[in-house]
Structure 1
């Protein structure tokens, strides 16, 4: 069953399960985002923020592929889809 909640874009600075970097995902909730990224709600609460500015490139990227996790290795690198 599809969720009726609107999508939110979460930007996470690091994750204990993956190599360090920045992660980006459009999900319906923090718990869904944590599950998609593969980290805990604790990490989302402490190391992430919600993007709300629709004109930011990161926001547009995440919303173009809901539930797809994107990773940026280094600050100047582009976000790339994270393969599972």
Structure 2
């Protein structure tokens, strides 16, 4: 879904009520703004946390994700 919103001269913009309701922001709240090479992404804090947890889970589920495994690999790579 693509919607146009206007930005006031002092930098304020309003998210349409339907989007705010779906995101649980009816009473206000915080969003995170990420600038990418393709544009701007707005995420709720909950969405950003969920994304970070998913990324961390990918690495935590790896069998060699322990600190000891990391240090062993570093020692091996450095010839210690």
TM-score for the superposition, normalised by structure 2: 0.29
Q: Name which one, 1 or 2, has greater alpha-carbon Rg.
A: 2
Higher relative contact order (CA 8 A, sep 6+): 1
TM-score for the superposition, normalised by structure 1: 0.28
